[in-house]
Amino acid sequence: MSDLLRSSMAARIARLPDLPPLDSEDDDNEEDEAGDSLGSLPGSGLGPPAAPRIRPQAAKRARPPNPDFAPLSASAYFGEALQVAVPERQLDVRAYYTPPKFAGGTVFVCHHGAGYSGLSFACFAKEVLEMTRGEVGVLALDARRHGKTRSTANPEPPTLDIATLVDDFVAIVRTVFPSSPNNPPPPLLLIGHSMGGAVVAHASPKLQSAGFHLLGIAVLDVVEGSAIEALPHMQNLLNARPDGFDSVEAAVEWHVKTKTIRNTQSARVSIPAIIQAAPPSDPPAPHPWIWRTPLRSTAPYWLSWFQDLSATFLAARTARLLLLAGTDRLDKPLMIAQMQGKFQLHVIGGGVVGHMLHEDDPTRAAEILLEFWRRNDTSKLKLPVKIKGVGEV
């Protein structure tokens, strides 16, 4: 394959929304993954991955785990880790939550992209909490078939289409924030990365109908046109991904060295959640650690995630923010709408972040999201004092 064709494919794939990283494997160990937060899917808008390099299946020597990539506990980033029972959806959901310090404070509700987990928002959440001194809370959840969320159905249904994800999300939010006349739910700002961006866009009218006050929705690095354009290349990108890892540290290292995640600290928190120990087998599995979410099994649902995303986003009856890693990701409907001022667009650009922009630069992402929140938090608006006219009592 020519260099030109590879570059063209990589640029196209970089626009896809959330699929596993396609970068070439830097090290033999980089092929082994860790657990709690899957790498970006190919073509998800991760930023152009390196041209894939397929190595022969030669026997490889396992290196000792590198302590520089050792997992970090999520306890330093969220106040609590919850298991939320959602019987109506037959789910036991893992959620990471730090509530706002003040009654009635806004909560940012975050939905990750395909293959990742709620811990992809860990560093971002810490920045938000520090910048607002606890005025804003953050809730990040693991979606169905991701992270530590478990189905209570036996067998677990494989379905992962957009309608299922949206109904799950709405049910989880309603369970975590039950509404009653004496205890109204807090104002919410919905944030979704890649696949999660589609979920929050579709979920916003349903939550509003259920009585929730939405201050806005923010979609991170996914655009319908470029995402759908990249889907035909996804399988090739998945083929360039390692099947597993020798250790959790090796999984973290692979994500960092391939620039799937450019922030080592964030990767050390998020990656352990997207891998799991391989089940016992005879002969033993080639890799002790494997992906939690087999992305190929989600292929039938990729189109449903992104089809009609632009129209759904623009139809949301609340403030809208599109946060991108690069200007090349805008499609025609969004270009037109942006020129008409129908949503707020922010591009970080400069090549400093990739598809996982909220992990690559959580500080900047938090600044942008907090500016968007302050601009749309109507609770902070004070009505002007009415000045009496001449002759009024």
- Single out the catalytic residue among 44, 194, 204, 266: 194
> Angle of helix 362-376 relative to helix 122-132, nearest 10 degrees?
50
CB–CB of 20/42 below 8 Å? yes
Euclidean distance between CA atoms 36 and 269, whole angstroms: 8
Q: Residue 19 pLDDT > 70, yes or no?
A: no
pLDDT band at 57 (very low <50, low <70, confident <90, very high): very low
Domain boundaries defined on the chain? 3-52+65-380
Exposure on the CB side of residue 197, measured as CA atoms within 13 A:
31
Instruction: For residue range 301-319, list pLDDT tens digits in order.
Output: 999 999 999 999 999 999 9
The one catalytic residue among 221, 246, 360, 377: 221
Q: Is residue 226 annotated as part of the catalytic site, yes or no?
A: no
Annotated catalytic, 221? yes
Q: How many helices (H) and strands (E) does the chain have?
A: 13, 12
Distance of alpha carbon 295 from alpha carbon 206, whole angstroms: 28
Cα dihedral 124, 234, 276, 114 in deg (nearest 10): 40
Instruction: Read off the pLDDT of each residue in 16-20 and give the average, rounded to a whole number.
Output: 42
Model pTM? 0.84
pLDDT at 69: 98
The architecture in CATH of the region 3-52+65-380 reads: 3-Layer(aba) Sandwich (3.40)
Q: Of 23, 355, 361, 377, which one is the catalytic site residue? A: 355
Residues written for the chain? 393
Q: Token pair for residue 269?
A: 């928190």
Q: Please report the pLDDT score of residue 326 as a whole number.
A: 86
Q: What is the pLDDT of residue 63?
A: 80
pLDDT exceeds 90 at position 343: yes
User: For this structure, is 27 an active site residue?
Assistant: no
- SS3 for 177? coil
- For residues 201-219, give the mean pLDDT: 97
73 versus 351: which is more confidently predicted?
73
pLDDT at residue 238 greater than cutoff 50: yes
Residues whose CB falls within 8 Å of the CB of residue 175, separated by 6 or more in sequence, listed in order:
84, 85, 86
Question: In angstroms, rounded to a whole number, what is the distance separating the alpha carbons of residues 311 and 239?
Answer: 32
pLDDT value at 59 more than 60: no
**Per-residue confidence (pLDDT) for residue 330, from 0 to 100:** 82
